[in-house]
Structure 1
Amino acid sequence: MRVLFDGEAPVAYGQIYVTSRELPDMDEAFAGQVNGLCGGGQPGALFLMTGTHTGRVRFTIELHDGEPPAAAEMWQEVVEVSFPPRAGVVDLVPWGDGTLARLPLIPEGQDNGRLPVYRARYCATGMDEGSDPFGGLDPDERAEDDDTYLDRRPDRYLLCLWPDGTTDGDSDRGGTDGGAGAGQTRSDAILRQTSGAAAYWHRWARALPPPPTLWEQVEAEMLTRLERDRRAHAYRVRDELRRWGGRLPSDRLRRVRGNIQGIVQLDRDLVDGVAGADAATQRQIAIWAARQAFTVAGVADLDWLRPAWTALDRGEPLPAEFADPTALWTRARGEPAVTFSTVTLHPAGWAPADPLHAILDAPVNPVAMALPALVAAGESDPLQAALEALWAAVTTYAARRAEFLTEVRRAFPFLDG
């Protein structure tokens, strides 16, 4: 026999716990039990009740190799429960506080991954006296600032543990009621009852609703997962509606890559019209939008751009020198590209009412905005090519974008079908 703890233990609300991990829930710990002093309904934890509501009580914890002799007559209350720990070392934890003591159930170096199911015998004496706030002392005889009675509580407790079977170290409560065995737990029992305090807690425990059956637990978990999946799906739908302008996209649109969200937010009907066209028409739209952008920017007729337009008209890939917007900018301007930033100061918390339109209404360099349209028109995916080229043209037209959107529909009337 080893004494794992022997000393004063602080209790509050008449509770103290032995736990492998998290603290037990009171109702779940006692549901389905006949005793209300030692709750073992949650794997890996014991919920221990005391007569003292608040104070320090004498507490002893013993670990035995086998079932110890019957409790001595001095113990007025004796109950037993099964205790399947989830770790080789458990903690004695007061209410609202950290660990008071570490309790090694397995000698160091002997943990082979399988832990016994322990039987826990919880003994108490003086619970009725402990239930008295002053522990039987006359409150009129103590000084007003004398709180030493909290350290001289009359109730005392003994917890005996011994192996009563085996289970996996991280298993939940399992097995059947009855005799001990591998992975099994036994029903709790009241071996001795004397005090009114103990009788009160026993009645309380027996009045609790029974714990859910294994099937009820499985069903509850299934329902929880279904609800979680439903919520996740609803979130994904809401997010997709937001990103796609309030209307769910087709699978074809979902597969499109590139910079298309701007045109989606600006004119979703146009996007759907383009998506409904055949690949050849989508390519025509892409080339047409690129020419419109370059025309507005005043660079559509540059001689060195002819190979690019010729390749697009023939359905051929763009020549390599036209596939980089930065290189195109350098050539169009006749000087290296320069990156610069413009900083605008606004009051804290300020934001435009319509960020998309605020961007499109800002001053732009039409040449810089038009160049990506040429690269976009050469994309291998004709739908991506059309949508990216349309967006580049919109940003080139900028504040005149309504004019461009009208021209698109005039050039391709079926887009409003």
Structure 2
Amino acid sequence: MRLLLGKTVSVHYGQMYLLNRDSPFDGDLSASFRGQSNGLLGAARPELLFLITGRHTGEVGLTIELHDQQPPLGEDWPDVVEASCALTGDDPVLSEWGERWYALELPPGEYRIRYCAQGMDAANDAITEDGVVDRYLLQLWPAEPAPDAVLRQTSKNAAYWHSEARKLPPPPTPAQLAAEEARRSAEEQVRAALRQRQEDIRRWGGEPPSPALRHLKGNARKVIREHREVAEALAAAPPATQRALAATLARQACAAAGLTTLDWITGALAAVDRGEEPFTDWRAAGERLLADPGVPSTVAVPGGLRQQTAAFATLRLAVLPDPLAAALETLSATLSTVGPDHRDGLLAQVRHTLS
């Protein structure tokens, strides 16, 4: 025999528990006793023992023992019950009602548990009396599962709890559990679909776009939100059309920004037309844009982004690996380049190209 615990513990509402420390427990009394003949040791739920005491609130004496085999039944315990339970967690504890707990060196396994009580009636009557009135012994030993049993019943308090347990409906069958799980799963799927729908409406400013567009981010998403008809037409176009349109838009942006007079820009546009990276060193290319005296500095709207900066970005965006993303990102940068006075004309041109 190995002593796992021997001390005075506090109880509230006549309850204490043996469970794994990190296991969730909702405190549902009836679920632990459904289908049992005893009402003192609830073992109907896996990985949990629900222990009832005579004392409602106060201190009780508790001893927990681990045996190699079934121990003899002591004569000095007027109320004794047994049940079986699998305790397979790696951090078993005796928990008081609330958050305080005591660690137990209990190996994982299938156990038969004997719960012995003395003084239950006296403790139930001694509501305001200090000190320990009722004492309990919890004995565990490895054993195959077996029905719970009342070995001794002496106190009125134990009789009451046994009677209450026997009034409870039996635990659900595996088929009922499976049906309930299926019902919960179906409800969660509906809730998840509703959450996704609400998120789509929030993200896209209304009805979400077609699946081909939903994965896109960045400025492509802005185009989708603000110019849905054009974005959907682009998504429906073949990849070759998407890629060609991106190259055309890059050329228009560079022209609007006054960059097509520069040989190194026209060479970059020719590479974009071929679907190639226009520069091997983008940092150096950006520095050249800033340093070249032939690069003008204009804005489409007062205080806005330099047209040359937006147009230069199209050279990189037009060759993005995803042709749809390339077309939408390049369209966004080109719209920024030409400014609000020419956006409607540019969008009309794109619609005509895709029609």
TM-score when normalising by structure 1: 0.71
1:105-120 aligned at under 5 Å gives the runs 105=106, 115=109, 117-120=110-113
1:201-220 aligned at under 5 Å gives the runs 201-220=161-180
SS of 1:317 mapped into structure 2: coil
Shift of residue 53, structure 1, vs aligned partner:
0.9
**Letter of the aligned partner of 2:184 in structure 1?**
T
Picking from 240, 259, 265, the partner of 1:299 is 259
How far apart, CA to CA, are the structure 2 residues paired with 1:199 and 1:404?
85
Whether 2:353 is the aligned partner of 1:393: answer no
Shift of residue 14, structure 1, vs aligned partner:
0.9
Picking from 94, 101, 109, the partner of 1:99 is 101
Partner of 1:356: none
Partner of 2:143: 164
How far apart, CA to CA, are the structure 1 residues paired with 2:135 and 2:321?
82
> 2:278·2:316 contact (CA, 8 Å) conserved in 1?
no
CA gap 1:379/1:90 in 2 versus in 1, 3 angstroms: closer
> 2:335·2:346 contact (CA, 8 Å) conserved in 1?
no
Where structure 1 has 5 or more consecutive residues not aligned to the other structure, the ranges are 107-113, 136-148, 166-184, 337-359
Picking from 342, 346, 366, the partner of 2:307 is 366
**Letter of the aligned partner of 1:131 in structure 2?**
N
CA-to-partner distance for each residue in 1:108-134, whole Å, 9 max, x for gaps?
A: xxxxxx73x322222222222111144
Q: Mean Cα displacement is larger for which, 278-287 or 76-85?
A: 278-287
SS of 1:191 mapped into structure 2: strand
How far apart, CA to CA, are the structure 2 residues paired with 1:119 and 1:45?
13
CA gap 1:121/1:385 in 2 versus in 1, 3 angstroms: closer
Picking from 41, 48, 51, the partner of 1:48 is 51
CA-to-partner distance for each residue in 1:10-37, whole Å, 9 max, x for gaps?
A: 2221112222333564222111111111
CA gap 1:18/1:256 in 2 versus in 1, 3 angstroms: closer
CA gap 1:205/1:245 in 2 versus in 1, 3 angstroms: same
Shift of residue 284, structure 1, vs aligned partner:
4.4
How far apart, CA to CA, are the structure 2 residues paired with 1:105 and 1:373?
67
Whether 2:12 is the aligned partner of 1:39: answer no
CA-to-partner distance for each residue in 1:231-251, whole Å, 9 max, x for gaps?
A: 444444544454445344444
CA RMSD of aligned residues (A): 3.2
How far apart, CA to CA, are the structure 1 residues paired with 2:111 and 2:329?
68
> 1:53·1:133 contact (CA, 8 Å) conserved in 2?
no
CA gap 1:293/1:11 in 2 versus in 1, 3 angstroms: same
How far apart, CA to CA, are the structure 1 residues paired with 2:248 and 2:141?
85
Partner of 1:351: none
Picking from 122, 131, 142, the partner of 1:129 is 122
Partner of 1:317: 275
Shift of residue 52, structure 1, vs aligned partner:
0.9
Partner of 1:143: none
SS of 2:206 mapped into structure 1: coil
> 1:245·1:268 contact (CA, 8 Å) conserved in 2?
no
SS of 2:288 mapped into structure 1: helix
Identical positions, percent: 39
Aligned residues: 345
**Letter of the aligned partner of 2:130 in structure 1?**
L
Partner of 1:333: 290
1:1-400 aligned at under 5 Å gives the runs 1-21=1-21, 22=23, 25-72=28-75, 74-87=76-89, 90-100=92-102, 102-105=103-106, 115=109, 117-134=110-127, 149-153=129-133, 155-165=134-144, 185-253=145-213, 259-312=219-272, 315-318=273-276, 320-321=278-279, 326-334=283-291, 363-379=304-320, 381-397=322-338, 400=339
Shift of residue 391, structure 1, vs aligned partner:
0.8
CA gap 1:292/1:159 in 2 versus in 1, 3 angstroms: same
CA-to-partner distance for each residue in 1:358-412, whole Å, 9 max, x for gaps?
A: xx99621111111111333344654333222211112223xx3363233330464
How far apart, CA to CA, are the structure 1 residues paired with 2:61 and 2:348?
88
CA gap 1:263/1:70 in 2 versus in 1, 3 angstroms: same
How far apart, CA to CA, are the structure 1 residues paired with 2:321 and 2:124?
82
SS of 1:295 mapped into structure 2: helix
**Letter of the aligned partner of 1:82 in structure 2?**
S
TM-score when normalising by structure 2: 0.82
SS of 2:83 mapped into structure 1: strand
How far apart, CA to CA, are the structure 2 residues paired with 1:371 and 1:159?
78
CA gap 1:13/1:402 in 2 versus in 1, 3 angstroms: farther
How far apart, CA to CA, are the structure 2 residues paired with 1:291 and 1:87?
66
> 1:329·1:368 contact (CA, 8 Å) conserved in 2?
no
How far apart, CA to CA, are the structure 2 residues paired with 1:93 and 1:381?
58
CA gap 1:8/1:377 in 2 versus in 1, 3 angstroms: closer
CA gap 1:83/1:291 in 2 versus in 1, 3 angstroms: closer
Where structure 2 has 5 or more consecutive residues not aligned to the other structure, the ranges are 294-300
How far apart, CA to CA, are the structure 2 residues paired with 1:378 and 1:61?
72
CA gap 1:304/1:152 in 2 versus in 1, 3 angstroms: closer
CA gap 1:387/1:26 in 2 versus in 1, 3 angstroms: same
How far apart, CA to CA, are the structure 2 residues paired with 1:372 and 1:208?
72
